[in-house]
Amino acid sequence: MPEPFRLGIAGLGTVGTGVVKIIQEHGALLAARAGRAIEIVAVSARNPLKERGIDLSRYEWVDDAQALAGRTDIDAVVELIGGSEGLARALVEGSLQAGKHVITANKALLAHHGYALAQCAEENSVCLSYEAAAAGGIPIIKALREGFAGNNIQAVYGILNGTCNYILTAMRESGRNFSEVLLEAQERGYAESDPSFDVDGVDAAHKLCLLTSLSFGVKPDFNSLKVKGIRRIDAMDITFAQELGYRIKLLGIARRLNGKIMQVLEPCLVPVDSPLGVIEDVYNAVYVEGDFVSTQLLTGRGAGEGPTGSAVISDIVDLARGQRIPAFGVVTTALKDAQWKPLGETVARFYIRLSVFDRAGVIADISAILRDMNISIESLIQRGRDPGQPVPIVLTTHESPQGAVMEACDLFSRLEAVVDEPCLIRIEDFK
């Protein structure tokens, strides 16, 4: 039997605890599958006294996580600290430079510094592995990097944040507004006390950035990604969407368009019976279009001790077997600078909700703006009068350039009868 594959683990939160549990409970199974034992040598976290529900006494405790990078009795460092800078970045860089493989779940670090870290891994003949960085237990990194290697990927769509998907599902099922459901999500442990990373779309955008790079062979470029979260989604938008045959999902989209790549993370209307329309609660899903596989849907829990810990273990087993794959599927010299499609030039159908005082001529004014912008209305919903109070007008458009629709919304907001900023949501009609 070969020598054990030896690990140093930095970070013992939810995911780190899950990794230790799996290794402790399935040691023999992992050894059989990897062809060698997988052994934890040392661990590090901020609080050595915290009760984690696992026995850590058999491992050496290291107060300074960066010390793991320099140890000669460790083959790979598992970084589960989080954050794009600070200790996590220093540990990953130091470990790669010291000739150690790195396994990480840190999507923020990779979205901002993935290209440089991948270069560092290649220069030191080690691997940078990150199956757990996107969609938790769904093996989407392996699928894009290996399973779909024979395909030109045309598009990737993803529901990539379970917190947001839970909130949108609960709003639809209960009719409650965003703030009420967010509070419930926090009480149930689905949302952090500061939920901005999730509900403002940053978490999902980090993941989309990695999927874009893997799908299209381009350098990760988080700063070029357009991001909009779910804070402005109103309960009435969810109700109107349902009436129109849609559900609202926070959707990451990466798509080839005439030689350029569209990359956006925003709420979208998707058909109720579509592959992503049926994904509810805390579940994640990734929908892939390839030229030879046609369409594929991968779905499962996108976070948590078990699913994300399982994804980390999959990378550990691969490395213990001796598998060596470039971080983004190709060597870094083959990664290109992407040509991004300006969002205003993309063509789609749109949902627009206006809050207006119901006065004579309002519809005519709205129609005139749409006419002048060459935007055609597909459907229109107007509710009955409520004297002195604003009422909603909802319309959907035929396919139109997003820039023209955004300009029309700006003109709507200047109308005297319109109150509040118009709500504009892309419609994605894939099946």
Instruction: Tell me what pLDDT residue 357 has.
Output: 87
Q: CA–CA separation, 391 vs 388, rounded Å?
A: 9
What local confidence, expressed as pLDDT, does residue 385 receive?
A: 65
Burial letters for 168-185: b for 16+ Cβ neighbours within 10 Å, e otherwise? bbbbbeeebebeebbeeb
Among the listed residues 100, 207, 249, 341, the single catalytic one is 207
Q: How far is CA 317 from CA 33, 37, 92, 342, in A?
A: 7, 10, 19, 41
Within 10 Å of residue 259's Cβ, how many Cβ atoms? Answer: 7
Residue-level pLDDT at 431: 57
CATH code for the structural domain at 5-137+307-327: 3.40.50.720
| Residue-level pLDDT at 292 | 95
Domain 344-427 has CATH 3.30.70.260: yes
CATH architecture of 140-301: 2-Layer Sandwich (3.30)
Confidence (pLDDT) at 382: 86
3-class SS string, the chain? CCCCEEEEEECCCHHHHHHHHHHHHCHHHHHHHHCCCEEEEEEECCCCCCCCCCCCCCCEECCCHHHHHHCCCCCEEEECCCCCCHHHHHHHHHHHHCCCEEEECCHHHHHHHHHHHHHHHHHCCCCEECHHHCCCCCCHHHHHHHHCCCCCEEEEEEECCHHHHHHHHHHHHHCCCHHHHHHHHHHCCCCCCCCHHHHCCHHHHHHHHHHHHHHHCECCCHHHCEECCCCCCCHHHHHHHHHCCEEEEEEEEEEEECCEEEEEEEEEEEECCCCCCCCCCCEEEEEEEECCCEEEEEEEECCCHHHHHHHHHHHHHHHHHCCCCCCCCCCHHHCECCCECCHHHCEEEEEEEEEECCCCCHHHHHHHHHHHCCCCEEEEEECCCCCCCCEEEEEEECCEEHHHHHHHHHHHHCCCCEEEEEEEEEECCCC
Position 397 scores a pLDDT of 97
Kindly give the confidence (pLDDT) of every residue in the chain, 431 residues in length, as a single tens digit, with 9 standing for 90 and above: 689 999 999 999 989 999 999 999 999 999 999 999 999 999 999 988 888 889 999 999 999 999 999 999 999 999 999 999 999 999 999 999 999 999 999 999 999 999 999 999 999 999 999 999 998 889 999 999 999 999 999 999 999 999 999 999 999 999 999 999 999 888 888 888 889 999 999 999 999 999 999 999 999 999 999 999 999 999 999 999 999 999 999 999 999 998 899 999 999 999 999 999 999 999 999 999 999 999 999 999 888 888 999 999 999 999 999 999 999 999 999 999 999 999 999 999 999 999 998 788 888 999 999 999 999 999 999 876 666 688 899 999 999 999 999 999 999 999 988 998 999 999 998 75
pTM value surpassing 0.85 = yes
By C-alpha distance, which of 430, 399, 402 is closest to 157?
430
Can you give the pLDDT at residue 302? 81
Tokens of 373: 């912008």
The whole-angstrom distance between residue 62's C-alpha and the CA centroid of its chain comes to: 32
249 is catalytic: no
Write down the domain spans for the chain.
5-137+307-327, 140-301, 344-427
Backbone angles phi, psi at 389, to 5 degrees: -115, 145
C-alpha dist (Å) from residue 202 to 65, 147, 247, 279, 413: 26, 27, 21, 20, 27
Residue-level pLDDT at 394? 96
294 beta partners? 290
pLDDT at 384: 67
The count of residues in the chain is 431
